[in-house]
Structure 1
Amino acid sequence: MPQSAATSISGIQKMVLYETRARYFLVGTNQAQTKHRVLKIDRTEPKDLVLIDDKHVYSQQEVRELLGRLDLGNRTKIGQKGSSGLSRAVSAFGIVGFVHFLEGYYIVLITKRRKMADIGGHSIYKIEDTSMIYIPNDSVRVSHPDEARYVRIFQNVDLSSNFYFSYSYDLSHSLQYNLTLLQRPYELWTSPTLPAEGEVQTQSKNDGFDIFEDEGLPTQVVYGLQNEPYYKYVWNGKLLERVKDIVHHDWLMYIIHGFCGQSKLLIYGRPVHITLIARRSSKFAGTRFLKRGANCEGDVANEVETEQIVNDAAVMSFTAGSYSSYVQVRGSVPLYWSQDISTMMPKPPIRLDQADPYAHVAALHFDQMLQRFGSPIIILNLVKKREKRRHERILSEELYPAVINLNQFLPPENCIDYIAWDMARYTKSKLCNVLDRLSMIAENVVKRTGFYINRSDFYCHTVRPDDRWGDLGGHITASGRVQTGVLRTNCVDCLDRTNTAQFMVGKCALAYQLFALGMIDKPRLQFDTDCVRLFEELYEDHGDTLSLQYGGSQLVHRVKTYRKIAPWTQHSKDIMQTLSRYYSNAFSDADRQDAINLFLQVYQPSESKPHLWELPTDFYLHHKNTMALPQDRRSYTLWWTAGILSYLPVPYDEVPCEDNMKKVKVKRVNRFEESIDIYTEFFRPYELTSFDDTFCIAMTNSAREFMPKTVGVDPSPFTVRKPEETGKSVLGREISLPRL
């Protein structure tokens, strides 16, 4: 078995773009600036992209000499000191991608970043600013009258708004996927013959990003493994597609869109980090009224995978530390449906666009979910049941029979669970407590799916057992627990009701996670504690961000609204958010949709086809299969991918099996190679740093903000606070009283 495991860090974290009349030279370096790579980009081609990846790894001295020779060789007059042949264009932190419209290619570079979170020493950054540079030289440029309009549309996707990346952590996969490598049989990762330096070998698809040391060999051999991202949640996959097989993988960096926030919980001085990562799907992506339901490939609108990671921040390493995660999903109802926005009204009528008697599109969608999450798949449908005018219930009346139809072919233990609850109706009732009902649903869901933790039960769980801990679901392994199955929540928009329901499920899961980490003695958390208030702020930031991306405004109804403790000033604010959402949907959604279609390369401009703004609809861009006759019609009864059922409830994507093998890049490096040394990467002993830079992240909030400052109050974040202990601001947000 492997003795230890660490990460394989992307070798290029800083880069400088130099230019001459004939070429761009992109010089990339690692964090320590000890290794450099050079990418040459030809500027004499008016339309094509010509890249030359210099395979040589340069030292700092070698790269200076190279740049000096390039500068000297490109001067207009040899020996003339006044004119420079090589000029510095821009400094950057990563490549978003390469894109072209009707002229030549552009390169999009990240020029400013901000650290948002840290997971096991792996930094997660938010893009703060980018630069889009036209590659061909002006002398060869063939101008087109519509090029500038396409550039403006492309730049409507604001890359400084909630796009995230990491050099060493795969954000497109869950923590469970990334860390299950450590629990797999060593035989799947070893080869009878040792590879040469940098050799590519056949290994498992589920490669993670860890290294192994083989103690049995006379010289220790370390394998660094490069992980293949999950392209559904990658937003620049198409922008890198042109170059990904040409350049070294260190140049490739994948970005996700959604939300990332991290908060610190102090339990009597012991730090615990709570991280929330939301991955927004790049398939069938768009704005509120323009993207509804599902496309013909089973991808649904507004699909977001939300993962909450809880870890003991006192220990940084993945192998030595304690890490837990819980994943849930939101997404539009998987049917062919839309809303008619030709008339200006707040609630356009819902219509079913296509009859689907065999639930073909729902089958494709749930097949994807079974493959990624395992079973059970639990649907929490929050749309209205009773209405004066038949509106939302059209969707429930179509979804429930579809689930019944699919379930009749699945084994009973792997059936899709369907929970329908009219949350809006219960909110209006004075007799019912909405959050109590959601809490019961959440307890049932978390018990069935379980959660991921990379540690087996602690001794404290034996000393102080809890009844609810014994029948917890999921898959128990020798080194911890694995989540099997997932909750899929939806209302009509998947915004306000969905966010509150997800918060309640997340709150329940958080209690089990903290109990599993040995932080609390019972897997239960109460409202009005510092811990839950901190968690609620995190989820509201998450909900506001996703609502702005999809609906054009912040959340209208929040957790406080459903608790019925929102102050009177909140009602006027809700009205303003409703008007903002209506205005956005009516006037700006079409432009935003065009920008998303162009950025994701769903539409690629060409002289031979109509312009993007001339298309009457983008239906055929997102439903490409409708344009071609299917060669192999999928079975209506055996609707799942072959091989999935034999491994359920464990997700097929995570099983260590021979059927699931794929070629990945495997490199053999020195034991003390800096590209896998997370300690050196994080603490940077090779340069002068300050404690503020190393240990401080711009966290959204900390438990200190919610803890009372008065003397004699229990400092535990799990103690219920009275309103006078926390104070209330005018807008209803909790504020701390001044220190006595």
Structure 2
Amino acid sequence: MKSLYQRLSLFVDGKDAYTFVPIEPLGAQSLTIRRATGDIVLNPPNKAVPPTATRYEKTVYGILGMISLALSEYIVIMTGREHRARFLGHDIYRAADFDILPLNPNVSAHNPSHPVEGHLLALVRAHLSGGYFLFSYTFDLSRRLQAQWSESKSDATRPLWKQADDRFFWNKFLQSRLIDTEIAQELSPYILPIVYGTFDLRTTYIHGHRIQLCLISRRSRYRAGTRYFRRGIDHEGHVANFNETEQIVLVEESAAGRISNIENFTHKLSFVQIRGSVPVFWGEINTLRYKPDLQIMDLQDTVDAMRLHLEEQISLYGEQCLINLVNQKGHEQPVKEAYERAIAQTELPEAKYRYFDFHNECKHMRWDRINILIEKMQEDLVNSGYFHLNMLQEEPAVKIQKGVVRTNCMDNLDRTNVVQAALAKWTLNHQLKDLGVLTEGEELDDFQALSQDFREMWADHADLISRAYAGSGALKTDFTRTNRRTKMGLVEDGYKSVMRYIRNNYFDGARQDGFDLVTGAWTPRKNPITAVSLLADTRPLIIRSVPYVASFSLFMICAGLTLPRTSGKFVSFMLSHTAQHHSPDYSLLYYFTLWFMIAALSIIFIVLHGIEYVSWPRLIPPTDIIHYKGPGFRSAHHGKGFIGPWGQKFAVPRKAMAANGVVHGGRKRAPTNYMEEIEKGTKSRVD
């Protein structure tokens, strides 16, 4: 396998070409990308750079790929990296800074000539700067240890990008221009796969054993996105917010004080869990209310899509233990019932469903009652096991993990984090006892350093996954960090909930567009004029003007509060002629009454038309959910104004996708005839 180039010098030959020259090893084949044609050329060894080329001011640490926008194609390069750890002899990095280089000589990436191009570039930059991207030049971060061990023979001849798990190869779409060339194999040292996830590594000692605890999560690039704009499943069996989490334990049997290579561990153990959205067709429609409207779509292929999803997980991980933490009462109840109806019809003996009423069992901050779930699952955990390599044996695989626990709540964040951490802790205790590191009477919590590292790793891991999906840190992490629920933790959760509300309603539309653009779910046409709707505000004038009226009325109220009670000049000027005949005190009363009424009416109008004020995605707007009229469940029809649930003309046009670009990446709609029936209104309304 050819090693990836870790540092490149970039030379810009005017408007003709970009040339990437490896700094090490000397004389390696350089890569040239022609700006006029987009041709990718691998140069002979030791080829000199053209004398007319100038060196780029930054060192390039990797080429993330190429992306085509409305005016030009662009090369995305990494110009900053952060060393995270050295793991099993390999350096792990986080991508920290990026530059975007236009191929079209007449286009500037910093000052594009068309506002649509500037908007698309801003989406790419925001996605790259807001994500947590990890990579290694010599180690495949996208696959769990068991998968690497089982494919170790074939990996010896395959480049790193061919080894990568397709689900977690985040920049696979960006790299497709290099991968799809006839010289892809020769270009392998330039094709760097990155993972969107988390990575943490801690070292400690117990009874003379050196122990490294590692936690890795990998986020799927399929059905990727933000909390309210990517829910449920698609027709290809991909679910939203799918993450694979692997807890790795490395144990060295050498006694403390003995000099040895810290990277040569005797035992390597791995425990894998997965999470993903409830695998039915459902969504939540933002209306500016704290709880969005719940929409469940009872489509004919719900069971087929769920079966596709579960069969893929079974083929990859083995038997599935499906832990559902969705509430059985209130707002979440229909989601639980839809899940259970569909899972009963899949008839897959390898998928075992188990329900746990998290909020009811753990109410009054009795979070120790999670042990009830652990006790019920012990048999499944023992049967699934974990992966264990003993490097001193000829056949190093002592154990194979034969199954996996799939956990979900509504968001697959807070409750899921708590349960996954509890399962990981139970497994870690048993792993260390099986190795003889812990005696039968000892537990993980008896060792402060290891216990603290474990809690901090899982809490940090929860925060990063939550920020990627919901826009704020995870809730309930005080329990993960301290093993108990605290009142201060409740206060912090309240703050995070407010931040989630603000981000989900006012900022996540653009964030979702960034996901869809970078993962290739949507690609723009080569004419920015066809995508002007990305920037245009097509809402009626009254809808657009009311927030300004509300803001002005609040300003006038604040201005009135600054006036002395004995002065009515400014107030009288603002009121009608009749108000001037009254005393200043009466003028103030009329003044504040007027502006309070205007502010109140404006806010009521905004709440009643809340769906018009949400920051919706513009590349792939969720029109099929917003306008859905077929069979299923709808909790309410808030935020649709005075006309009624189906008469309101929304700001998100139904034909937006056809006008703005091309939808890719498995985002299929329901069968054409079914959608036509929905559009014509012949399908029954939701009760």
TM-score, normalized by the shorter chain, greater than 0.5:
yes
Question: Structure 1 residue 124 and structure 2 residue 92: aligned?
Answer: yes
Counterpart code for 1:100: S
Question: Structure 1 residue 373 and structure 2 residue 373: aligned?
Answer: no
CA deviations on 1:656-685 (whole Å, 9 max, x unpaired) are xxxxxxxxxxxxxxxxxxxxxxxxxxxxxx
Counterpart code for 1:360: D
Question: Structure 1 residue 174 and structure 2 residue 92: aligned?
Answer: no
The secondary structure found in structure 2 opposite 1:594 is: helix
Question: Structure 1 residue 106 and structure 2 residue 74: aligned?
Answer: yes
Q: Find 1:354's aligned residue among 277, 298, 305.
A: 298
The alpha-carbon distance between structure 1 residues 262 and 353, as it changes in their structure 2 partners (threshold 3 A), is same
The equivalent residue for 1:617 is 621
Q: Find 2:121's aligned residue among 147, 151, 160.
A: 151
The equivalent residue for 1:402 is 342
Give the TM-score normalised by structure 2.
Answer: 0.72
Count of aligned residue pairs for this structure pair: 535
The secondary structure found in structure 1 opposite 2:338 is: helix
The secondary structure found in structure 2 opposite 1:146 is: helix
1:250-649 alignment, distance < 5 Å = 250-268=189-207, 270-312=209-251, 321-341=266-286, 343-356=287-300, 359-374=303-318, 376-385=319-328, 387=329, 389=330, 391-407=331-347, 410=348, 414-428=349-363, 433-441=368-376, 443-455=378-390, 479-522=397-440, 525-527=443-445, 529-530=447-448, 531-558=450-477, 560=479, 565-607=484-526, 610=531, 613=534, 617-618=621-622, 621=663, 624-626=667-669
Counterpart code for 1:10: S
Q: Percent identity?
A: 26
The alpha-carbon distance between structure 1 residues 502 and 605, as it changes in their structure 2 partners (threshold 3 A), is same
Counterpart code for 1:425: N
Work out the CA distance in 2 between the residues paired with 1:224 and 1:549. 29
Shift of 1:586: 1.1
CA deviations on 1:134-185 (whole Å, 9 max, x unpaired) are 2332499995442111111111103464100111111111111111245xxx
The alpha-carbon distance between structure 1 residues 561 and 172, as it changes in their structure 2 partners (threshold 3 A), is closer
Shift of 1:607: 4.2
Question: Structure 1 residue 51 and structure 2 residue 94: aligned?
Answer: no
Work out the CA distance in 1 between the residues paired with 2:222 and 2:107. 39
Work out the CA distance in 2 between the residues paired with 1:577 and 1:228. 38
The alpha-carbon distance between structure 1 residues 523 and 370, as it changes in their structure 2 partners (threshold 3 A), is farther
The secondary structure found in structure 2 opposite 1:290 is: coil
Shift of 1:11: 3.5
Work out the CA distance in 1 between the residues paired with 2:340 and 2:441. 33
CA deviations on 1:594-644 (whole Å, 9 max, x unpaired) are 1111111211111465457355725674654337779xxxxxxxxxxxxxx
Of the two, which has the highest radius of gyration? 2
Counterpart code for 1:617: P
CA contact (8 A) 1:557 1:574 kept: yes
CA deviations on 1:462-485 (whole Å, 9 max, x unpaired) are xxxxxxxxxxxxxx9773211111
The equivalent residue for 2:134 is 164
Shift of 1:571: 2.7
Shift of 1:525: 2.9
The alpha-carbon distance between structure 1 residues 372 and 431, as it changes in their structure 2 partners (threshold 3 A), is closer
The equivalent residue for 1:238 is 173
Unmatched runs of 5 consecutive residues or more in structure 2: 255-259, 535-617, 625-656, 658-662, 674-687
CA contact (8 A) 1:9 1:168 kept: no
Give the TM-score normalised by structure 1.
Answer: 0.67
Counterpart code for 1:53: L
The secondary structure found in structure 1 opposite 2:337 is: helix
Question: Structure 1 residue 134 and structure 2 residue 102: aligned?
Answer: yes
Shift of 1:29: 4.0
The secondary structure found in structure 2 opposite 1:535 is: helix
The secondary structure found in structure 1 opposite 2:174 is: helix
The alpha-carbon distance between structure 1 residues 561 and 307, as it changes in their structure 2 partners (threshold 3 A), is closer
Q: Find 2:83's aligned residue among 115, 125, 142.
A: 115
CA contact (8 A) 1:442 1:505 kept: no
The alpha-carbon distance between structure 1 residues 583 and 524, as it changes in their structure 2 partners (threshold 3 A), is farther
CA contact (8 A) 1:172 1:256 kept: yes
Work out the CA distance in 2 between the residues paired with 1:238 and 1:501. 33
The equivalent residue for 1:679 is none
The secondary structure found in structure 1 opposite 2:378 is: helix
Bigger relative contact order, structure 1 or 2 (CA pairs below 8 A, ≥6 apart): 1
Shift of 1:283: 0.4
The equivalent residue for 1:92 is 60
Shift of 1:441: 4.1
Counterpart code for 1:491: C
CA contact (8 A) 1:259 1:279 kept: yes
Work out the CA distance in 1 between the residues paired with 2:523 and 2:88. 39
The equivalent residue for 2:607 is none
The secondary structure found in structure 2 opposite 1:504 is: helix
Work out the CA distance in 2 between the residues paired with 1:536 and 1:380. 22
CA contact (8 A) 1:276 1:309 kept: yes
CA deviations on 1:105-133 (whole Å, 9 max, x unpaired) are 21111111122133310121111111112
CA contact (8 A) 1:329 1:489 kept: yes
The alpha-carbon distance between structure 1 residues 451 and 140, as it changes in their structure 2 partners (threshold 3 A), is closer
The alpha-carbon distance between structure 1 residues 406 and 271, as it changes in their structure 2 partners (threshold 3 A), is same
Shift of 1:272: 1.2
The alpha-carbon distance between structure 1 residues 478 and 240, as it changes in their structure 2 partners (threshold 3 A), is closer
The equivalent residue for 1:464 is none
CA contact (8 A) 1:457 1:516 kept: no
The secondary structure found in structure 2 opposite 1:103 is: coil
CA deviations on 1:13-49 (whole Å, 9 max, x unpaired) are 110101112221100244xx34522001112x1xx42
Work out the CA distance in 2 between the residues paired with 1:480 and 1:95. 39
Work out the CA distance in 2 between the residues paired with 1:561 and 1:271. 24
The secondary structure found in structure 1 opposite 2:463 is: helix
The alpha-carbon distance between structure 1 residues 272 and 578, as it changes in their structure 2 partners (threshold 3 A), is same
CA contact (8 A) 2:169 2:194 kept: yes
Counterpart code for 1:455: N
The equivalent residue for 1:737 is none
Shift of 1:575: 1.3
The equivalent residue for 1:10 is 3
Counterpart code for 1:289: Y
The secondary structure found in structure 2 opposite 1:434 is: helix
Shift of 1:568: 3.4
CA contact (8 A) 1:451 1:481 kept: yes
Compare 227-236 and 583-592 and name the one that shifted more: 227-236
Shift of 1:320: 6.9
The secondary structure found in structure 2 opposite 1:503 is: helix
Shift of 1:53: 1.1
The equivalent residue for 1:472 is none
Work out the CA distance in 1 between the residues paired with 2:389 and 2:480. 36
CA contact (8 A) 1:274 1:309 kept: yes
Unmatched runs of 5 consecutive residues or more in structure 1: 1-7, 75-84, 183-188, 190-206, 212-222, 459-475, 631-740
Shift of 1:364: 0.9
The alpha-carbon distance between structure 1 residues 524 and 503, as it changes in their structure 2 partners (threshold 3 A), is farther
Counterpart code for 1:588: F
